[in-house]
Structure 1
Amino acid sequence: MIKLQGIRLFILCCFLNHFVFGNEYFDKTYSQINSNIETEDYEANFRLIDQLERADVFQRLDCYDKGRIYHKIGLSYYLAYREAEAIDYFGDKVLPLWENCSKVPISEKANTIYNLGICHQYLGNTEEAKGYLDQALNIFENTEDYPPHQLGLKYHGIGLFYESINDLFRAQLYFSNAINLFEQENDIPRKFNALNSTVTLHLDFKDYNRASEYVGQALELVKTKPDLMATQDVVPVYLNAAKIAFEQKKYDRAETLAKRALSLIDRQGSPQYYAIGLEVLAFLHMEKKEFKQAEDIMHEVLYIRKQFYQKGSGLEMIALTYENFAELYLKQGAFYRANEQLAKGFRMVAPNTKLDQRTVPTVSNIEIKNQNTLIRLMELKTRIFEQKYKKGGDLEWLQHSLDVQHKIDSVIKKGLLSLQFEQSKLEFLDVRFQYYGKAIQDALRLYDLTGDTYYLEQAHQFSARTKALTLQQELNRINTLRTTASKTILEEESSLRERMNAQQSLLFEASDNNRDSLLQSFLQAQNALDAFLIRLEEREPKYYRERYRFLKVPPIQAIQEKLPGDLAVLEFFESQESIYVFWISSTQFFSTTVPLTPKLRKCIERFTEQCGNPEIPFSQTDSQFIFEQLMEEGLSRLTNVERLCIIPDGSLHTLSFEVLHNGGGHLIEDYAFTYAYATQLLGRKGDNGEIPPEDYMGFAASYSNSLSTKLRFRKRFFGEEVLSPLSLSKKEVEQASKIFGGKTFLDDGASLENFYNNANNARILHLSLHGLVDTDDPSRSCIIFDDTKKEFLLSPPDLYKNRLGADLVLLSACHSANGKIYNGEGVQGMSKAFLLAGSQNVLSSLWNASESSSLGITHSFLTYVKQGVPFDLALQKAKLNYLKEVTPSQRHPYYWANFVLVGKVGPATRFPWYLIALAMGSSLVVGIFLYRYFKRPKTS
């Protein structure tokens, strides 16, 4: 991808604006060094410093002036792409001189720290880079008179860093802040550069539609402000646009854009850009199978990039060139030459790795310079092995391919562990999901060819490894912290999280006037928590060991031993072309594969829409087709099973499986259903604290007439919608209280404060309240408590800081089972938030249903639970009772199929009702799909 040299240019600018001193020797020397930098005669400065250090007059300079000269020499090495030598000057000469030098402005010292971070970034030293950059940014943000445009430059640079370590979430935040600051300062060229970096960011994460949007914004600036745009700044945008067109298979447009960029480039002045333009043309020749032309161009690209490599920089780009050579030779079937190029690429991105006899790298305990490139190189290796299998039929090549895919998984895990924040992890995994689909396909192919169940288990391992990784890691983090850390550490961690959550809440509701400052505060709070977690791992070895004891997928036999004899788990994996289903019962384990055809995709989409809207006639044809595709074969092979636990994936998260029709009736008539995020969580243990004292606790609010207005003011509600009154909410809570006993909080008693103070004391938590869901930004979803109080919204971040003792929480707020869906990770919304808060099971809603029908189903459900019926069977019985009693017009799935149970798998035996915790609400709620809290750039 294209990295702007603007980062190097703005660093130069940072150091040209200094105070003028009377020392003639210093002034003359400093002026000469600056002149050499402006003319790019860096070698002159390298020769000059050798002379200066031998002169007594130089040694007599004070700490500040001597440090400034050393700084300029470090800058010269940086601009000459000799980052290692720049680090020697910044870190070993400038900072020690300035450590106790009172004359040094704090922002100038921060610039040196910042430069150290950037140099380490370009050398692939991620942890060192992050430490220096965060330290410098903290100084810049807290320097009162620090120029806004300089802060914008720093945000831009740090955004580039986070992009380089695959932290899409943070990179986007910093780029957005930079764009906003540049717009405020009317700094069009730098805003343009930040826009182009955002294009590159979305290209890296294969979001070509968003990338195209930012290309459009950048080119609009070129159109409206052409006199402000330097040619060398415009070129990268055309190159990025060419890359987007190529990925979208618009080859003619890609060629036009690449040639236009090349026509604007001074090959001598911007050789790296010229190499990128040539590379696009080489790709186009490869697509046309004009391999000789492509190879000739690629050799030219390699020559250009080697010049930078010889100067100690450009590792990432030269590794990319070797990757492209390997791709070229693989397309021609030249396996030996492709392997040669891959070996060179591996040594670039993982210099200390060892290659085995098949030129496959080890991945444990190695330094990885660029994770994305390493993964792509290994994926190319799997394709070489597969091509060799197709050519000779030797299964050993497929086995080698599978081994490499395990290594890819290890690299992905390593990258995941380097990220602290959930949103960063979700974006990181979402892009890498594709590699697991290929691994499953290959493992199942080996199983079909050999009949060896080892490969079937391997296929399931790859599927299960993608499921709810961030949920598992966060649960593990919470439990580890609570069992290994002191009370002081717990309080500090809680305080930092509350600070971050408070800043995020303020940002949600920010006006245009204060959004930028609040975004800055939010980033500061994130960085403070990040730094604390890093210190914690360094100082608490026990916590570190337990924290990173990665939750491995248990063997199939271990899973089977935990399953009740009448229950089967169905784990789905949705790839681009297929849906893989793994069927696991206490005695059986097999898989089925379904082609994901356009017809099936469309049918699932229609079926989901039909279920959630009573105005749309329900199609038994659609329902039965989905059943035949996904379920029929597997169910016909299962024996003695009456309960199904579904682990959905992709589009299947929106599917109510119990509504599927098998020709004789809905599946709910034959099976009880529950849902789970991952097999690893099916039998997870809760907190080892005391049993909550209250068997039941219910909340029901009537709300004020100004609720919708308040929600609009808090930026949670848009348009002219109005939330309907909850006419049956109090009745629902009162009925439940009669069944279970316990406390109720009604009307103004149903406050957020009362929830915080009491909810962790409940086994049964009943929330008959409105709710909003945001399918774009999960952290903005919320449950709405009594709005006569100042604070009345409960969002996922607010729940994470509270520990609940509930065994089961029922959320019937609108679409409370919904949220943003990430590949593998699943639905991010209120259900997941309650699980993270400590609840063992959550009963929630896929859509907003009729208040009266939900009241009947939930009352029946509670009655069965009181009798000791397991949750899934109780829900099945309650829904069947409803279907028996209502008129045909009320049998539409909209009225009864909305509730889904998510959590642990329970036994089929009766057990005392006092071990159950239930939170329940059956209110008719208007589902509102909110906008992102990060506002799009004003030029969009």
Structure 2
Amino acid sequence: NLFYSQGLDPKSPRLLDDLNSNPTQQANLTYNRPPNLPLKYYQERVKSLSEQAHQLEDQISRRSPDFRTANQSVTIEAIQKLIPANTALVELVKYQPFNPKAKKDQRFGPPRYAAYVLHSQGDPQGIDLGEVELIESDLELFRLSLQDKGTRTAQLKQAARQVDQRLMEPVRKLLGSTRYILLSPEGELNLIPFEALVDQQQQYLVENYRFSYLTSGRDLLRLSQESASQTAPVLLGNPDFDRSAPELIANQNHGNLPSAHLTRSIDLSKLDFSPLPGTAEEVKAIADMLGVDPLLGAKATESAVKQINSPRILHIATHGFSESAPNQEQSTLYDNPMLLSGLVLAGFKQKRTGAENGVLTALEAVGLKLSGTELVVLSACDTGSGRISSGEGIYGLRRAFVIAGSQTQLISLRKVEDKATKELMLAYYQRLLDDNMGRTEALRQTQLDMLKDETYQHPYYWASFIVSGNWRPMKN
């Protein structure tokens, strides 16, 4: 785990090796349960590996100066200095009101959302947004409307407007003329694209505002200290789920699973996969722009991803998954929420029991070498999702690639259609590379163009992705 290893003393390589191998052991145990192993012993093994990881992290963190620095408290003044002019940091938080005068069992009220707004100058401002239950009920309706391209525009806009009235309309009163928002949502608010909300004039917010997503305001400290990698980009796409390149993978046990429909999403309970030919075309075209050779088919392996060393750009186009609500039996096995999100890569259907099983979980992604990587693009489904943990952001691939060291993540929040994603990605890279646009603005301009296109004007197509992290143009 590079996050812990930065500045690590030279006496600790064995601890680090043990920590780096632990996520793979957990992932393999989760997705390839040994046959004939009683459930009781299986659960004990899962628990033992999880406890071992926590112990290793504790030992390593004591030896890592960078880890201690990252966990020091920060002041509002320190963060405020890093907010650009004409920009506001907006943190949306969940809290429980407390009344010390009420009866003991009635002192805590129902959970509520609040917003805190901080400009580059002036005092922070706060505003209550209402009860969590009411807001999240509207969020669910909005999300369902976005997921169905058959939803009438008027119906979708009504759902989007309802959410905007509860969340962003009150915040806009504190923004003044500011149009650039560094947004740090909490809880279920992480799962919606704020760009697709609708204001009083029936316009999508993307038409008048620029959003960059952060896990918290303290991200600004990390982003201000980053350096850019000079290593060539790495692109993977259209993995061959039936097989993987033998020179890249060992310890293979073969098995067969049924195929599924053509969408960048999977249901782990069924373990169905289908080829995604659009991702091959997407990755080839982007690789031509970047002047590199992509890893396609049997070469798009989990092992290949784990061997990368701080590429300038990492682009992975494949199936993604996020299981936010495991059933009761699963919850005892998947105690680590970072095992509930991941990417599916070459050779998965071989159901290997060795070191690599064709699934890169979020837990394993944490250990990738991405320090200096300016952009990670996860062109898959549900890569921005994960189990909700109040105050801790999203436990999923989004969090994992931040911890691994990447500066910016372009990630999806829900099911993504293959062809539309290809068009969006090609337009995004063209603006990013040829026009030298900022990493957020390149996506926004692409979304605005799609909004004008009759084929893609429904938010189902253009509001699938968000940019999290560094919003500025790439340095190289």
TM, length-normalised to structure 1: 0.42
1:571/1:582 contact within 8 Å kept = yes
1:503/1:521 contact within 8 Å kept = no
In 2: Cα distance, 1:865 partner to 1:536 partner:
38
Identify the match of residue 596 of structure 1 among 131, 148, 153: 131
Letter of the structure 2 residue corresponding to residue 797 of structure 1: L
Residues 1:494 and 1:716: Cα distance change in structure 2 (over 3 Å): farther
Q: State yes or no: 1:614 paired with 2:149.
A: yes
Q: Alpha-carbon deviation of 1:914?
A: 5.5
Q: Alpha-carbon deviation of 1:847?
A: 0.7
In 1: Cα distance, 2:464 partner to 2:407 partner:
20
Q: Quote the RMSD (CA, aligned, Å).
A: 3.1
1:778/1:829 contact within 8 Å kept = yes
1:272-287 equivalent positions in 2, closer than 5 A: none
SS at match of 2:294: strand
1:14-93 equivalent positions in 2, closer than 5 A: none
1:577/1:596 contact within 8 Å kept = yes
Residues 1:598 and 1:755: Cα distance change in structure 2 (over 3 Å): closer
Letter of the structure 1 residue corresponding to residue 93 of structure 2: F
2:16/2:60 contact within 8 Å kept = no
Letter of the structure 2 residue corresponding to residue 554 of structure 1: V
Letter of the structure 2 residue corresponding to residue 767 of structure 1: I
Residues 1:688 and 1:609: Cα distance change in structure 2 (over 3 Å): closer
1:658/1:897 contact within 8 Å kept = yes
Q: Alpha-carbon deviation of 1:691?
A: 2.7
Q: Alpha-carbon deviation of 1:504?
A: 4.7
In 1: Cα distance, 2:267 partner to 2:136 partner:
31
Match of 2:365 in 1: 799
% identical aligned pairs: 20
Q: State yes or no: 1:662 paired with 2:184.
A: no
Residues 1:532 and 1:896: Cα distance change in structure 2 (over 3 Å): closer
Match of 2:6 in 1: 482
Task: Indicate the structure with greater strand content.
Answer: 2
Instruction: Considering Cα pairs closer than 8 Å and 6+ residues apart, tell me whether 1 or 2 has the greater RCO.
Output: 2
In 1: Cα distance, 2:368 partner to 2:134 partner:
45
SS at match of 1:662: coil
Match of 1:572 in 2: 92
Q: State yes or no: 1:682 paired with 2:205.
A: no
In 2: Cα distance, 1:807 partner to 1:855 partner:
21
2:2/2:367 contact within 8 Å kept = no
Q: Alpha-carbon deviation of 1:678?
A: 0.8
Q: Alpha-carbon deviation of 1:745?
A: 0.7
Match of 1:744 in 2: 294
Match of 2:121 in 1: 587
Q: Alpha-carbon deviation of 1:633?
A: 3.3
What are the superposed Cα offsets for residues 854-913 of structure 1, whole Å, 9 maximum, x if unpaired? 2222111111111211111111000001111224xx42211110101111353xxxx5x5
Residues 1:773 and 1:598: Cα distance change in structure 2 (over 3 Å): closer
Q: Alpha-carbon deviation of 1:516?
A: 3.5
Identify the match of residue 753 of structure 1 among 293, 299, 303: 303
Q: Alpha-carbon deviation of 1:668?
A: 0.4
Identify the match of residue 904 of structure 1 among 462, 470, 473: 470
Q: Alpha-carbon deviation of 1:535?
A: 5.8
Residues 1:850 and 1:627: Cα distance change in structure 2 (over 3 Å): same
Letter of the structure 2 residue corresponding to residue 892 of structure 1: H
Residues 1:616 and 1:734: Cα distance change in structure 2 (over 3 Å): same
Q: State yes or no: 1:562 paired with 2:82.
A: yes
Match of 2:315 in 1: 766
What are the superposed Cα offsets for residues 543-567 of structure 1, whole Å, 9 maximum, x if unpaired? 3776445734533332222112132
Task: Indicate the structure with greater helix content.
Answer: 1
Q: Detail structure 1 runs of 4+ shifted over 6 Å in the superposition.
A: 686-690
In 2: Cα distance, 1:591 partner to 1:690 partner:
35
Match of 1:850 in 2: 417
Letter of the structure 2 residue corresponding to residue 857 of structure 1: L
In 1: Cα distance, 2:225 partner to 2:57 partner:
22
Residues 1:682 and 1:746: Cα distance change in structure 2 (over 3 Å): same
Residues 1:527 and 1:570: Cα distance change in structure 2 (over 3 Å): closer
In 2: Cα distance, 1:493 partner to 1:880 partner:
45
Q: Alpha-carbon deviation of 1:507?
A: 4.0
Residues 1:520 and 1:645: Cα distance change in structure 2 (over 3 Å): same
Residues 1:735 and 1:612: Cα distance change in structure 2 (over 3 Å): same
1:708/1:717 contact within 8 Å kept = no
What are the superposed Cα offsets for residues 805-828 of structure 1, whole Å, 9 maximum, x if unpaired? 421111122111111101111211
Q: Alpha-carbon deviation of 1:736?
A: 0.7
What are the superposed Cα offsets for residues 733-765 of structure 1, whole Å, 9 maximum, x if unpaired? 1111122222311111212222222x3242111
Residues 1:784 and 1:892: Cα distance change in structure 2 (over 3 Å): same
Q: Alpha-carbon deviation of 1:597?
A: 7.0
In 2: Cα distance, 1:829 partner to 1:536 partner:
23
**Unmatched 5+ residue regions in structure 2?**
96-109, 244-254, 261-265, 326-336
Residues 1:694 and 1:572: Cα distance change in structure 2 (over 3 Å): same
Residues 1:623 and 1:561: Cα distance change in structure 2 (over 3 Å): same
1:563/1:905 contact within 8 Å kept = no
In 2: Cα distance, 1:604 partner to 1:611 partner:
11
Q: Alpha-carbon deviation of 1:614?
A: 1.9
2:229/2:374 contact within 8 Å kept = no
Match of 2:105 in 1: none
Match of 2:175 in 1: 638
Match of 1:704 in 2: 242
In 1: Cα distance, 2:267 partner to 2:419 partner:
27
Q: Alpha-carbon deviation of 1:662?
A: 0.8
Q: Alpha-carbon deviation of 1:493?
A: 2.3
Identify the match of residue 401 of structure 2 among 828, 834, 839: 834
Q: Alpha-carbon deviation of 1:800?
A: 2.4
In 2: Cα distance, 1:690 partner to 1:631 partner:
34
1:284-303 equivalent positions in 2, closer than 5 A: none
SS at match of 2:316: strand
Match of 1:336 in 2: none
1:571/1:581 contact within 8 Å kept = yes
Match of 2:41 in 1: 517
In 2: Cα distance, 1:690 partner to 1:652 partner:
31
1:864/1:874 contact within 8 Å kept = yes
Letter of the structure 1 residue corresponding to residue 16 of structure 2: E
Match of 1:779 in 2: 339
In 1: Cα distance, 2:150 partner to 2:133 partner:
25
In 1: Cα distance, 2:461 partner to 2:121 partner:
36
**Unmatched 5+ residue regions in structure 1?**
1-476, 916-940
In 1: Cα distance, 2:9 partner to 2:413 partner:
38
Match of 1:180 in 2: none
Q: State yes or no: 1:718 paired with 2:269.
A: yes
In 2: Cα distance, 1:762 partner to 1:612 partner:
33
Letter of the structure 2 residue corresponding to residue 740 of structure 1: L
What are the superposed Cα offsets for residues 368-396 of structure 1, whole Å, 9 maximum, x if unpaired? xxxxxxxxxxxxxxxxxxxxxxxxxxxxx
Residues 1:615 and 1:839: Cα distance change in structure 2 (over 3 Å): same
Q: Alpha-carbon deviation of 1:497?
A: 4.1
2:380/2:416 contact within 8 Å kept = no
TM, length-normalised to structure 2: 0.79
Q: State yes or no: 1:865 paired with 2:432.
A: yes
Residues 1:591 and 1:513: Cα distance change in structure 2 (over 3 Å): same
In 1: Cα distance, 2:65 partner to 2:229 partner:
29
1:461-476 equivalent positions in 2, closer than 5 A: none
